[in-house]
Amino acid sequence: MRPEQVQSQLLRVLSDAIAQLRDPRVPMIVTVERVAVTSDYGIARIYVSSMNADMNGLLDALNHARGHLQREVTAQVKLRRTPVLEFHSAADVPL
């Protein structure tokens, strides 16, 4: 699979999985702005944003739920090796 295909699949799966989280630090609407995968598919950097949310609290909650989100990716995206998820604020990195 090409990196663009993997990134689009990860974006879709993670958007749905984050919307299902029941953590009070995760607001109702979280947008996965983009996903960047390294060339060896070892790391996936996920850039998220949310209106009216404490970004540090949101990132802490997503890092806390990383195992659950990783299992969702493994179940829905067929890759030989599932990338490690890293969450970042979309405001920190320019497009």
Q: pLDDT 10s digit of each residue in the chain, 95 long?
A: 788 899 999 999 999 999 999 998 899 899 999 999 999 999 999 999 998 888 999 999 999 999 999 999 999 999 989 999 999 999 887 65
Q: Which pLDDT score is estimated for 94? A: 63
8 A C-beta contact, residue 46 and residue 6:
no
Three-state SS at 44 = strand
Q: Which pLDDT score is estimated for 84? A: 96
What are the DSSP calls for 16-37, one per residue? Answer: HHHHT---TTS-S--EEEEEEE
Q: Which pLDDT score is estimated for 52? A: 83
Residue-range domain boundaries for the chain: 3-89
Fold of the domain spanning 3-89: GMP Synthetase; Chain A, domain 3 (3.30.300)
Q: Which pLDDT score is estimated for 45? A: 96
